[in-house]
Amino acid sequence: MSRNAESTAFRSALEVIRAVEPRVADAIGAELTDQRESLKLIASENYASPATLLAMGNWFSDKYAEGTVGRRFYAGCQNVDTVEALAAEHARELFGAAHAYVQPHSGIDANLVAFWAVLADRVESPALKKAQVRQVNDLTEADWFALRRELGNQRMLGMSLDAGGHLTHGFRPNISGKMFDQRSYGTDPATGLIDYDRVAEAAREFKPLILVGGYSAYPRKVNFRILREIADSVGATFMVDMAHFAGLVAGKVFTGDFDPVPHAHIVTTTTHKSLRGPRGGMVLCQPELADQVDRGCPMVLGGPLPHVMAAKAVALAEARRPDFADYAQRIVDNAQALAEGLLRRGAKLVTGGTDNHLVLIDVSGYGLTGRQAEQALLDSGIVTNRNSVPQDPNGAWYTSGIRIGTPALTTRGLGTAEMDQTAELIHTVLAQTTAGANADGTPSKAKYTLDPGLADKVARQATDLLATHPLYPAIDLG
């Protein structure tokens, strides 16, 4: 697309919006400015392409399309069928998956679809068979009651939150923790790495229905072949949530034992993190789970979002181009350069480095909590998020870690040299921030002091760094 076409498209869109509610148009413009000017190191964020963004802003948004391609509960879905089929085809080809379901609205939704597909396959279907009926409405009250109890009494084994797992992998504040009896596997306290023997031991003891692999804050590769063997040894369904590293799978940085798709029965993902698509989710699965997965809507999902499926098709088509593999490799090269730059300056990193797109700094090495470090960095124009570290003494709110990731800066075109400069900025801020005290003199987990002059200086340096790689250079809103 030419420079002019992108500018014209977004300018025209804003003009149309401004005529109705100028404050929304202003906020959209301001968001672009903010994104352009902040050093975004949030590991779960990225910048979607103009084509992906534009594919979402149209009349597909108006269409109801419950059902699946060619089998809808609403008339007039032929164009939705086109984009949903395209998105699914690109997903299958990109990941080498037997089946792709592209309707989930988010990663949480994709996980819910997967959980209920497995429950339907492993618990509900056998109960229907036993009762010799075709569907749940045909069960007697007593059999229905027994089935509901059985559905609500299953087990899940997933990675613990402070080792980098995600809330949706069976933790109590999330619906998954209320649905499943959950146990966690952690990481080796000495190395910070997954100890597969311990996972096997936990699986043998607990006998989960579902073994979950995948993470939000684990900076290393995971051997999915070994996890599948563990799942098989206890008769568990092996599910992987690759929300964070889907881009690295798509870009063939993670292959063989480290590619979850050939090993897992079912894989879930978001489409907006390292995969660089629109906000959304997706489920990939083996053929035997396909029918249950396709029941995601209306089982747990509201009607599909055809405009987002159109954008998924565009983004997945982009990810199938050869330059995406180059992008994925640069994400990892940049994360490793960032880790090395931090280590060289004395930072303490969980597992001592990274194999993927993220780095977890243990900021207790700077005498700070995650909360203090996150705020001090933000004061200095550096956007990160605090995160627990294994066996975190500060809990999930204040934490002792800062998670940083490279997908977004890599999209902007920053490379390893700029990652070293970024490491310098981060280290400077953290080394110059001092933990504060409460009124009674006890150490505060939130208060801190940082010279505002230094914060401003770092923010200016961050802006200068970003100016060398402008975001959406073709878009000029005037």
Per CB under 6 A, contacts with ligand PLP among 364-393 are: none
Is residue 163 a contact residue for ligand PLP (CB under 6 A)?
no
The stretch among 56-64, 105-113, 197-205, 419-427 that binds ligand PLP (CB under 6 A) is 105-113
Give the range of 118-126, 147-155, 236-244, 373-381 binding ligand PLP by CB under 6 A.
Answer: 236-244
Q: If binding is defined by CB under 6 A, does position 83 make contact with ligand PLP?
A: no
SS3 385: strand
CA distance 451 to 434: 10
Alpha helices in 57-140 (DSSP H): 78-95, 107-119, 125-130
A 10 A CB-CB count for 287 gives 8
Q: Is 107 in the site for ligand PLP (CB under 6 A)?
A: yes
Cβ proximity to ligand PLP, 173 vs 473, nearer residue = 173
Measure the CA–CA gap between 462 and 452, rounded to whole angstroms: 15
Closest CA to 123 of 150, 155, 93: 150
- Burial status of residue 399 (CB atoms within 10 A of its CB: 0-12, 13-18, 19 or more): buried
Q: Which residue has the tokens 């085809």?
A: 89
So which residues are the catalytic ones? 64, 66, 241, 270, 273, 279
By C-beta, is 112 or 459 nearer to ligand PLP?
A: 112
Burial of 346 by CB count in 10 Å (0-12 exposed, 13-18 middle, 19+ buried)?
exposed
Q: Judged by CB under 6 A, does residue 184 bind ligand PLP?
A: no
79 versus 106: smaller Cβ distance to ligand PLP: 106
- Is 44 one of the binding residues for ligand PLP (CB under 6 A)? yes
Decide if residue 106 touches ligand PLP (CB under 6 A). yes
223 binds ligand PLP (CB under 6 A): no
CB burial string 241-279: b at 16+ within 10 A, e below: bbbbbbbbbbbebbeebbbbbbbbbbbbbbbbbbbbbbb
162 is a site residue for ligand PLP (CB under 6 A): no
Total binding residues toward ligand PLP, as defined by CB under 6 A? 13
Under the binding rule (CB under 6 A), the answer on residue 407 touching ligand PLP is no
Annotated binding-site residue numbers for (6S)-5,6,7,8-tetrahydrofolate: 161, 165-167
Binding residue for ligand PLP, selected from 87, 108, 337, 458, defined by CB under 6 A: 108
The single residue listed with the structure tokens 């819910």 is 112
Cβ proximity of 157 and 182 under 8 Å: yes
Strand partners, 212: 239
* CB nearer to ligand PLP: pick between 44 and 49: 44
Q: How far is the CB of 304 from ligand PLP (least distance, A)?
A: 15
We find the least distance from the C-beta atom of residue 38 to ligand PLP, in angstroms, to be 19
Chain residues binding ligand PLP by CB under 6 A are: 44, 106-108, 166, 168, 214, 216, 241, 243-244, 270, 281
